[in-house]
Copies of this chain bind each other. A is one copy, B any other.
Amino acid sequence: MTIADVARHANVSRQTVSNVLNSPEVVKEETRQRVLAAVEALGYRVSAAARQMRTGRSRLLATRIETTQDGMNVFDRFLHGLTESAAGSGYRVLLYTATDDQSEIAAFDQLLGEFEPDGFVLTSTHHGDARTSWLAERDLPFVTFGRPWGTSEAGHPWVDVDGAAGTEAATRHLLDGGHRRIGFLGWETGSGVGDDRKSGWSRTLAAGGLDTDLAMETDGTPAQGQAGARELVERGATALVCVSDSVALGALQVTPSVVGFDDTPVAAAIGLTTLGQPLAEAAARCVELLTDRLSGRPTAPHVLLTPTLVIRKDP
């Protein structure tokens, strides 16, 4: 089925058919309707390019693929959910790589020029996030998996998982096991995600009238997790809540009563109790918030999901 068949059926020139698909504004409405009827009657499959020129929509959502050097992040599972949810809404996921905010902004600019994605899904939001400001200034549609953390408080759509609720559940689990001196192994202060996860631990201990002095910062590696755990145990800790499975992996070399965060494959493999993020749901809600905006539908401004404690052994 070609443009020539459509032209013959509608009794117009091939140029007119091409105009209807590419420059509908130069074609009389009556002619346009006749051509579209012919397209429909013949089942002519409009090419992606023709459709994009007509609708101004590429049906592409762009997202960054993260480096997964230690396999301890959750992004591959999020990406799988994103691809499935996008397809369910008639969109496809376009990938790019970037190493920092500035190179990601350069990627936005290039993608907008070359592939015209309808929207962006951003991950790893952080304080002073230059990416969200750049997109917001240009009024480009986007959603973030992660809260604004102080940036762009004016408000863009976001989906996040409640880290504090997670570490609260972890701390309660250790309290239920009889522990009273419970430490926290975190990241350096200033990371939105890390500070949030720490706050659930401290508020739970404080609510029980217990000390919150057993906290240490790490660089997120198992090595520093192990060193930090050794010091906290020397200072009297009998159990540890950790900011990540990677830190927990190190802490486990020192004491068995450890809870991680993210339910990574490593946690499953070694029997580590940890917090699982509802990643498929997070991805589905990201697609929902973004496609609602693209379709002009009213939508929730943001969604905060609750993680689940995955208990693999006694506290």
Contact = CB atoms under 8 A, between A and B. Distances in A.
Given A71-B264, A95-B95, A49 B80 contact: no
A114 B70 contact: no
Contacts of A47: 52-53, 116
Q: How many copies of the chain does the oligomer comprise?
A: 2
Given A52-B48, A94-B94, A270-B270, A70 B116 contact: no
Interface residues of A, number: 51
Given A15-B26, A48-B58, A53-B50, A95 B83 contact: yes
Counting chain B CB atoms within 10 Å of each CB, the highest count among A60, A66, A95, A116 belongs to A95
A97 interface: yes
B49 A68 contact: no
Interface of A: 15, 18-19, 22-23, 26, 45, 47-53, 58-60, 65-68, 70-72, 75-77, 79-80, 83-84, 87, 92-97, 111, 113-116, 222, 249, 264-266, 268-270
19 contacts: A15-B19, A18-B23, A45-B113, A47-B52, A48-B113, A51-B114, A52-B52, A60-B115, A65-B80, A67-B80, A79-B95, A83-B95, A84-B97, A87-B97, A94-B94, A264-B265, A265-B265, A266-B266, A269-B269
A-B interface, 4 closest residue pairs, ranked by CB to CB distance from nearest:
A71-B265, A49-B52, A76-B76, A49-B53
